Chain A
Amino acid sequence: MRKSPLVAFGAVAALAVVPLLVSNTYVLHMLVMVFLWVLLGQAWNLLGGYTGQVSYGHAAFFGVGAYTSAIMVKSGFSPAAAWWGLLAGGLLAALVGSVLGWICFRLRGPYFSLSILALSEVLRLVAVNWKDLTNGAEGILYIPAFNSKAAYYWIVLALAGVSYLTIRAVMRSKLGFYFLAIREDQDCAESLGIDTTKYKLYSLLISAFFTGVAGAFYMNYMGFIDPGIVFSLSDISIMMILVTMLGGAATMAGPAVGAVLYILMSEAFRVFLKSGHLLFFGILIIVIIIFFPQGIVGTLREKWAGRRLRAANATAPKAGA
Chain B
Amino acid sequence: MSPQVAGQIELLGQVLISGILLGGLYALIGLGMSLIMGVMKIINLAHGELMMVAMYATYWMFTLAKVDPYVSLVVVCPAMFLLGVAIQKFLITPVMNADSILPQNQVLLTVGIGLVLSNLALLFFSANYRSVPVSYASKTIYWDVKMGGQTISLSFSYPFLVAFAIAVVLGAALFVFLGMTDTGRMIRATSQDKRAASLMGINTQRITYITFGLGAALVGAAGALLDPVYYLYPQIGGPFTSKAFVITVLGGMGNIPGAVLGGLVLGLAESLGSVYISLGYKDAFGFIIFVLVLIFLPKGLLGKGRA
- Give the B-binding residues of A (Cβ under 8 A): 48-49, 52, 54, 56, 103-104, 106-107, 109-111, 113-115, 117-119, 121-122, 125-126, 128-129, 183, 233-234, 238, 241, 245, 249-250, 273, 275-279, 281-286, 289-290, 293-294, 298
Asked whether B69 is an interface residue with its Cβ less than 8 Å from the other chain, the reply is: no
Inter-chain contact A285/B108, CB cutoff 8 Å: yes
Asked whether B173 is an interface residue with its Cβ less than 8 Å from the other chain, the reply is: no
Inter-chain contact B123/A49, CB cutoff 8 Å: no
B246 contacts across to A, CB distance below 8 A? 118
Please classify the interface of chain B as helix (H, G, I), strand (E, B), loop, or mixed, using the class held by over half of its residues. Answer: helix
A54-B104, A110-B107 in contact; A276/B120 too (CB < 8 A)?
yes
Our pick among A119, A249, A286 for the contact of B101 (Cβ within 8 Å) is A249
Fill in one digit per residue for B107-119: 1 if any A CB lies within 8 Å of its CB, else 0.
1110111111111
16 more A-B residue pairs beyond the given contacts A106-B295, A118-B290, with a C-beta to C-beta distance below 8 A: A106-B294, A107-B295, A114-B249, A114-B290, A122-B287, A125-B283, A126-B284, A249-B102, A275-B127, A276-B120, A279-B115, A282-B115, A282-B117, A286-B116, A289-B98, A294-B101
Please classify the interface of chain A as helix (H, G, I), strand (E, B), loop, or mixed, using the class held by over half of its residues. Answer: helix
Q: How far is the CA of A110 from the CA of B43 in the complex (A)?
A: 8
B95 contacts across to A, CB distance below 8 A? 289-290, 293
Q: How far is the CA of A175 from the CA of B112 in the complex (A)?
A: 32
B42 contacts across to A, CB distance below 8 A? 110
Asked whether B103 is an interface residue with its Cβ less than 8 Å from the other chain, the reply is: yes
- Give the A-binding residues of B (Cβ under 8 A): 42-43, 91, 94-95, 98-105, 107-109, 111-120, 122-123, 126-127, 238, 242, 245-246, 249, 278, 280-281, 283-284, 287-288, 290-291, 294-295, 298
Q: How far is the CA of A294 from the CA of B101 in the complex (A)?
A: 7
Inter-chain contact A286/B283, CB cutoff 8 Å: no
Our pick among B104, B117, B119, B242 for the contact of A109 (Cβ within 8 Å) is B104
Our pick among A183, A233, A245 for the contact of B238 (Cβ within 8 Å) is A233
Q: How far is the CA of A294 from the CA of B100 in the complex (A)?
A: 6
